[in-house]
């Protein structure tokens, strides 16, 4: 059946993804004089950033005047197990204060002290209080602020658009091809430069803090197919505490603030097991360590009836719980009819954040493809092997701004506007070829993929399980070729599901292949067959497509050298990571 005809829209800078990174890029490009178009597959006020809860980091010194950008750098770089790009970490630490003040100036409703200054609270493993927040709805407050600013500037945001392919000719990106999820209408988006800000890939795991139909690694897939390298795909943060039931919400985040407010972790024998894993910091240890501890308890048979351990805050007064953890209180009443002021929650690790992603230039976030930039969770380089909470929202606005400005400069400086009818035709043909009757359905295959990643590349990995995972992934990929899609009615959403599946299969492969090569345990990457950190692997693992239908190739390179001026910060005793884990 022929698809609806393609129309075309032309702009200087096309932004894919309307989360915080995409909107901030669009604002920067517009302010630099470009005509900008933002496309996203969701409603513009409902991009995934809306879920972010606890806060955004910036050294403002409101509560702790002794804090410094150097300390923020040191905490981030060290907690990332030295795999972050030193310059990326430096930029984030230096520029976060201006980025947060700017959001506040644009009307973001951050919490303030009585004297009007922005309040700051502790977040895990930060030495000082440097996390600004808007209750536990910080992501929503930031997204609404950026959307308001974009509207003021007259930036069009096209909703319900699924981008299926980047348009590339001779190594130059000149736009993207997509379709409308409601009408099915196809659009060729032509642009001088493109900013990809399409989020992470943590929905690939059975238990995930992401929501449905997001975070299948769509942006990473588009970049990979366009010729970009991905970096450190094996580095995926598992948040220690996600809900375990009911099944449809398993993985939903149980905020770190529960432990920050004094919550205790127990196994089924009512033992406070953190005494065996980190007797000093206990429940307030770093995320990677608490996640591994909980995982070990469960695997060794000391878990609860639903496959989790117990997180108990019921020893705190109910009034305090209602004041400090209102969202958590509501969440457990709504889904489990459980009153957390009286009973413990059952929790288990949940896939939460992609620390790896598209390889980018540290200054401009240019990718390997000319005219293509990337920002936000789909990129790599900031968090190393363990992300500090609150740093990713800072990353979205700081590098969103840089990528948008660089894309606008590229557009301004381009002498020719490259176009290729063949590239457009190929994108049309590719999409059309997916619409056919078949024997499989996308949803069950998505579920099988999520189970596969959970079982074969979860909190703890080993070579045999990962190799088996790759084999099963091949079977799933074969099955995915015969997915049934009927256009119309549910048809366009079915097409979204199959494209998500396609992206997920490739990013899963990237994750498994990089995880196989990292033969050590470091941060969030735990190998039971290589339980120790290997100093020789202070390297980043890269992957890319060498040819159609070929397995991805993987190689590693040393982390860029850290300048002496920054290295000094890491050896200074004052710069020791304090390991405080309070939200
Ligand atoms: C529950 C939760 C709580 C969190 N809390 C915090 C916190 O307190 N502090 C913090 O710093 N971080 C937090 N994070 C992480 C942070 O929210 C994200 O890293 C950040 O919001 C990512 O923003 P982004 O703009 O890069 O991408 P996103 O906000 O994910 O936006 C990308 C958008 O691109 C769209 N898209 C994807 N593929 C396509 C396609 N092919 N075509 C069209 N559109 C597409 C998607 O619909 C998506 O909305 C949290 C994350 C979760 C899940």
The whole-angstrom separation of Cα 220 and Cα 16 is: 12
Residue 3: which pLDDT band, with cuts at 50, 70 and 90?
A: low
Residue 324: per-residue pLDDT:
76
CB-CB contact of 52 with 139 (8 Å): yes
Check residues 197 and 79 and name the one with the higher pLDDT.
Answer: 197
Same-domain check for residues 408 and 435: no
Distance 28 CA to ligand 1 centre (A): 19
Pocket test for ligand 1, best of 179, 181, 198, 215 (most atoms within 8 A of CB): 198
Cβ–ligand 1 distance for 54 under 6 Å, the answer: yes
Q: Residue 265 maps to which CATH number?
A: 3.90.700.10
Name residue, tokens 């117990």: 310
Domain contains 9: no
10 Å CB burial of residue 156 (0-12, 13-18, 19+) is middle
Residue 230: which pLDDT band, with cuts at 50, 70 and 90?
A: very high
Both structure tokens of 171: 């190594």
Pocket test for ligand 1, best of 22, 27, 39, 52 (most atoms within 8 A of CB): 52
Residue 577: per-residue pLDDT:
38
Distances (CA, A) of 207 to 84, 293, 347, 458: 26, 17, 11, 10
- Cite the active site residues: 239, 259
- Please, what is the average pLDDT of the chain? 93
Residue 440: per-residue pLDDT:
94
Cβ–ligand 1 distance for 392 under 6 Å, the answer: yes
Residue bearing the CA closest to ligand 1, atom 17: 52
Element (H, E) at 400: helix 391-413
Pocket test for ligand 1, best of 15, 22, 48, 126 (most atoms within 8 A of CB): 48
The whole-angstrom separation of Cα 503 and Cα 214 is: 11
Work out the number of other CB atoms within 10 angstroms of the CB of residue 429.
9
Q: Residue 21 maps to which CATH number?
A: 3.50.50.60
Cβ–ligand 1 distance for 350 under 6 Å, the answer: no
Same-domain check for residues 313 and 339: yes
Ligand 1, residue 211: give the atom nearest the CA. 53
Same-domain check for residues 297 and 372: no
Where is the domain boundary, 362, 390, 420?
420
Where is the domain boundary, 420, 444, 469?
420
Distance 47 CA to ligand 1 centre (A): 7
Same-domain check for residues 415 and 439: no
Work out the number of other CB atoms within 10 angstroms of the CB of residue 38.
30
Domain contains 7: no
- Residue 29, SS3 per DSSP: helix
Same-domain check for residues 19 and 123: yes
Same-domain check for residues 398 and 543: no
Distance 555 CA to ligand 1 centre (A): 28
Per-residue pLDDT tens over the stretch 95-154: 999 999 999 999 999 999 999 999 998 877 788 999 999 987 899 999 999 999 999 999
DSSP 574: G
Both structure tokens of 386: 């363990």
Enclosing domain of residue 495: 423-555
**Mean pLDDT (whole number) for 419-434:** 94
Distance 111 CA to ligand 1 centre (A): 22
Same-domain check for residues 31 and 138: yes
Q: At what angle do helices 463-480 and 442-456 cross, to 10 degrees?
A: 170
- Residue 325, SS3 per DSSP: coil
Same-domain check for residues 90 and 29: yes
Looking at the structure of the chain, the number of domains it has is 3
Per-residue pLDDT tens over the stretch 240-266: 999 999 988 999 999 887 887 789 999
Distance 392 CA to ligand 1 centre (A): 9
Cβ–ligand 1 distance for 85 under 6 Å, the answer: no
Termini Cα distance of the chain: 54
CB-CB contact of 179 with 432 (8 Å): no
Same-domain check for residues 335 and 393: no
- Residue 471, SS3 per DSSP: helix
Per-residue pLDDT tens over the stretch 284-336: 888 898 999 999 999 999 999 999 999 999 999 999 888 778 888 999 999 99
Where is the domain boundary, 420, 444, 473?
420
> Would you say residue 578 has pLDDT above 70?
no
Show Cβ contacts of residue 97 under 8 Å, excluding neighbours closer than 6 positions. 58, 59, 60, 69
Looking at the whole model, is its pTM more than 0.75?
yes
**Mean pLDDT (whole number) for 524-542:** 97
């Amino acid at each position: 059946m022929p698809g609806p005809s393609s129309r075309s829209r032309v702009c200087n800078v096309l932004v894919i993804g309307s989360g915080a990174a995409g909107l901030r890029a669009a604002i920067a490009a517009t302010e630099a004089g470009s005509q900008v178009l933002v496309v996203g597959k969701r409603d513009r006020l409902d991009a995934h950033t809306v879920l972010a809860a606890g806060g955004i980091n910036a050294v403002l010194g409101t509560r702790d005047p002794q804090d410094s950008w150097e300390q923020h750098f040191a905490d981030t770089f060290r907690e990332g197990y030295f795999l972050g790009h030193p310059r990326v970490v430096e930029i984030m630490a230096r520029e976060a204060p201006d980025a947060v003040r700017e959001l506040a100036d644009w009307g973001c409703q951050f919490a303030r002290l009585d004297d009007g200054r922005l309040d700051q609270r502790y977040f895990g493993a930060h030495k000082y209080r440097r996390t600004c927040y808007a209750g536990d709805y910080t992501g929503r407050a930031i997204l609404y602020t950026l959307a308001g600013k974009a509207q003021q500037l007259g930036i069009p945001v096209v909703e319900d658009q699924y981008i299926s392919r980047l348009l590339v000719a001779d190594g130059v990106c000149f736009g993207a091809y997509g379709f409308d999820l409601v009408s099915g209408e196809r659009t060729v988006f032509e642009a001088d430069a493109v900013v990809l800000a399409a989020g992470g890939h943590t929905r690939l795991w059975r238990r995930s803090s992401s929501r449905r139909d997001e975070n299948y690694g769509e942006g990473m897939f588009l970049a990979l197919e366009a010729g970009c390298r991905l970096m450190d795909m094996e580095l995926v943060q598992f948040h220690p505490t996600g809900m375990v039931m009911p099944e449809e919400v398993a993985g939903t985040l149980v905020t770190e603030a529960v432990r920050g407010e004094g919550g205790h972790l127990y196994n089924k024998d009512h033992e406070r097991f953190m005494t065996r894993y980190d007797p000093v910091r206990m429940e307030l240890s770093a995320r990677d360590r608490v996640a591994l501890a909980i995982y070990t308890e469960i695997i060794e048979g000391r878990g609860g009836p639903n496959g989790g351990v117990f997180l108990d805050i019921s020893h705190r007064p109910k009034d305090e719980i209602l004041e400090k953890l209102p969202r958590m209180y509501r969440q457990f009443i709504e889904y489990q009819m459980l009153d957390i002021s009286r009973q413990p929650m059952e929790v288990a690790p949940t896939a939460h954040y992609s620390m790896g992603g598209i390889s980018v230039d540290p200054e401009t976030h240019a990718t390997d493809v000319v005219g293509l930039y990337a920002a936000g969770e789909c990129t790599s380089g900031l968090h190393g092997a363990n992300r500090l909470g609150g740093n990713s929202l800072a990353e979205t606005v700081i590098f969103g701004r840089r990528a948008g400005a660089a894309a606008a400069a590229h557009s301004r400086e381009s002498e020719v506007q490259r176009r290729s009818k063949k590239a457009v035709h190929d994108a049309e043909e590719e999409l059309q070829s997916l619409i056919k009757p078949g024997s499989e359905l996308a949803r069950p295959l998505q579920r099988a993929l999520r189970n596969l990643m959970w079982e074969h590349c979860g909190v703890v990995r080993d070579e045999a399980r990962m190799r088996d995972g790759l084999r099963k992934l091949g079977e799933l990929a074969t099955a995915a070729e015969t997915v049934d899609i009927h256009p119309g009615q549910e048809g366009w959403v079915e097409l979204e599901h199959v494209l998500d599946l396609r992206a997920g299969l490739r990013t899963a492969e990237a994750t498994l292949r990089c995880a196989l090569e990292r033969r050590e345990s470091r941060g969030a990457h735990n190998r039971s067959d290589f339980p120790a950190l290997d100093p020789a692997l202070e390297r980043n693992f890269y992957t890319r497509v060498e040819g159609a239908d070929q397995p991805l190739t993987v190689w590693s390179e040393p982390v860029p050298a850290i300048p002496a001026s920054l290295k000094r910060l890491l050896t200074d005793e004052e710069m020791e990571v304090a390991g405080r884990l309070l939200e």
